[in-house]
């Protein structure tokens, strides 16, 4: 299965089947490996879904415009897309870690002897440029922010990276380099507690009321989503820890079980049975809607985009 087969297909139904097969056989394994190497826990599934949805949209756009030369190596392109998805997550959740990764990419991209490239399985490797065996150079595929150039251009930073990579007998995974540099410079996004047990501090009444008002607005907007988008979003809804966010609605009095059941078009008894198993994975949601897994991912992404504009 190749990208050209999908781009050349003139039958819309056959094209969709080819697209799904292309994503399952080529993109999904690489995206899963890349995201899994950088993000742990339930949040990784959200990042994977976002990346797959972006790739599907991009391929459909290429087919519509007839631009065949944009993607020369689809596996490498999928790997880069996955890293971009991780970058977006890190930019939001771990700003210092994200900045360090960007600095190191810049340093390796400009270094006379060292480099960074993509292995066939999608992993980023770094080391002496003579070891890359003709693999695609990452700096030719990924845009690096020049704003981080000052630290990366310093002699001290260059010497540290040179020492780490020269001591390695084989190309080093880029993620390992980031970990070692972060440890050396004591770079972390963990916030100090300043002597307070923050985990045991209950939110104030004002905070609770604000959160409840926001949830009520979100719930109201969700009710206006198209049926498939609403179901794809709610049954997979997660909080920041990856747990089922849908449970917040009855707990805060924003929506009852009956109202939630109506929103997902499910009998209350059935919703009660699956409640402890929430959030549902995309395959189970796809079965309920009679759609493909990729389509469910697209629907949820569209729902989030619409909500972001309204809220």
Of 293, 306, 276, residue with least CA distance to 232 = 293
Query: Are the beta carbons of 113 and 62 closer than 8 angstroms?
Result: no
- Which residues neighbour 138 within 8 Å (Cβ) at sequence distance 6 or greater? 80, 105, 108, 109, 116, 117, 118, 124
Query: Are the beta carbons of 265 and 223 closer than 8 angstroms?
Result: no
For residue 38, the model assigns a pLDDT of: 79
74-93 and 28-38 helices, crossing angle to 10°: 30
Q: CA-CA distances (angstroms) from residue 70 to 21, 62, 141, 239, 247?
A: 20, 8, 12, 36, 44
Query: Are the beta carbons of 36 and 281 closer than 8 angstroms?
Result: no
CA distance 266 to 262: 6
pLDDT in tens, the chain (311 residues): 689 999 999 998 899 899 989 998 999 999 988 888 878 766 787 788 889 888 998 899 888 888 777 888 898 899 889 988 888 887 777 788 878 888 898 888 888 899 888 877 767 889 998 777 666 565 544 444 444 556 666 788 899 999 999 998 888 999 899 999 988 888 877 643 333 232 333 444 434 444 667 788 889 999 999 999 999 999 998 876 667 888 888 888 889 999 999 999 999 999 999 998 898 988 899 999 999 888 898 898 888 888 876 55
**Threshold 0.85, pTM exceeds:** no
Of 147, 112, 108, 110, residue with least CA distance to 125 = 108
Cross-strand bridge partners of residue 116: 126
CA distance 227 to 303: 10
């Amino acid at each position: 299965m190749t990208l050209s087969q999908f781009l050349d297909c003139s039958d819309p139904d056959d094209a969709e089947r080819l697209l799904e097969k292309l994503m399952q056989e080529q993109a999904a394994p690489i995206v899963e490996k890349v995201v899994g190497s950088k993000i742990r826990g339930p949040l990784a599934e959200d990042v994977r879904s976002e990346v797959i949805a972006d790739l599907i949209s991009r391929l459909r756009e290429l087919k519509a415009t007839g631009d065949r030369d944009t993607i020369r190596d689809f596996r490498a392109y999928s790997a880069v897309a996955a890293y971009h998805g991780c970058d977006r997550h890190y930019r939001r959740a771990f700003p210092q870690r994200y900045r360090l990764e960007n600095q190191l990419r810049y340093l390796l991209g400009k270094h006379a002897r060292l480099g960074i490239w993509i292995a066939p399985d999608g992993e980023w490797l770094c080391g002496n440029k003579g070891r890359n065996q003709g693999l695609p150079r990452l700096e030719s595929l990924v845009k690096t922010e020049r704003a981080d150039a000052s630290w990366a251009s310093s002699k001290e930073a260059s010497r540290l990276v040179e020492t780490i990579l020269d001591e390695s007998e084989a190309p080093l995974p880029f993620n390992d380099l980031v970990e070692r540099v972060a440890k050396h410079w004591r770079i972390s996004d963990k916030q100090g507690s300043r002597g307070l047990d923050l985990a045991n501090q209950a939110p104030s009444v004002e905070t609770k009321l604000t959160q409840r008002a926001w949830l009520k607005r979100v719930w109201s907007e969700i009710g206006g989503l198209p049926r498939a988008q609403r179901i794809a979003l709610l049954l997979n809804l997660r909080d920041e820890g990856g747990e089922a966010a849908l449970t917040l609605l009855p707990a805060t009095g924003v929506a009852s079980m009956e109202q939630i059941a109506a929103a997902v078009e499910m009998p209350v008894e059935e919703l009660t049975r699956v409640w402890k198993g929430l959030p549902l994975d995309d395959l189970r949601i796809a079965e309920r809607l009679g759609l493909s897994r990729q389509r469910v991912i697209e629907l949820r992404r569209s729902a989030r985009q619409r909500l972001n504009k309204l809220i």
